[in-house]
Amino acid sequence: MILVRTSLSVLLIAAACRSIPGSSTPAPVTTDAPPELESQQKYWKQLGLRDYSFTYEPMCMCRGYGLTYQVGVRDGKVVSFQHASEAVSLSSRDLPRPTVDSLFAWIKDAYVRKAAVVRVTYDPELHFPANISIDWNLNIIDDEFSFEVRDLRPNPGVGLPRP
């Protein structure tokens, strides 16, 4: 009996150490993400677009709900975020300022955190996430988050690669 308890204790301690940040053996992360997520992200990266703009519309019970924003990205970083004719401060943390890469990260995070529902529609030409809907828990009201991305255009001087 003592041997069984000791073995179980050792196993539990070893399992706990695997999940401690900075431990020598990190715990594996599984996303259970569909293969389409990886393939669409791969196609997006192959385009090599780092300078682009798009229209972003968050739909959630959050600040900025129902408003449409114009997002400018240069070298993979948001450089402008504007609602109608008013610029929104880039230093404000009230609203997320997405890039296409961060949209892919949000989707992957939803799978890692085991959201109850994740629905994604990708743009057929440029492969960015065009519509995303995440419901974290079917039994909780107002935890849903959706957004739409449209009118993505390479910034002037940036051409799309030819197939």
Amino acid 90: pLDDT:
54
- 157 falls within a domain: no
- 47 falls within a domain: yes
Query: For the chain, first and last CA: distance in Å?
Result: 67
- 6 falls within a domain: no
Amino acid 69: pLDDT:
86
Amino acid 123: pLDDT:
97
- 18 falls within a domain: no
Amino acid 85: pLDDT:
57
- 14 falls within a domain: no
Domain with 95 in it: 32-151
- 20 falls within a domain: no
Amino acid 61: pLDDT:
61
- 25 falls within a domain: no
Number of domains within the chain: 1
3-class DSSP state of 42: helix
Amino acid 86: pLDDT:
62
Amino acid 96: pLDDT:
66
What is the full per-residue pLDDT of the chain (163 aa) written as tens digits?
A: 443 333 333 333 333 333 333 333 333 344 577 899 999 999 999 999 999 999 998 876 665 566 788 899 999 998 888 876 566 665 555 556 789 999 999 999 999 999 999 999 999 999 999 999 999 998 887 778 888 999 999 986 544 444 4
- 16 falls within a domain: no
Residue pair 79/64 in contact (Cβ under 8 Å)? The answer is no
Beta partners for 119? 133
Write the burial class of residue 126 (CB in 10 Å: 0-12 exposed, 13-18 middle, 19+ buried).
buried
What is the value of pTM for the model shown?
0.70
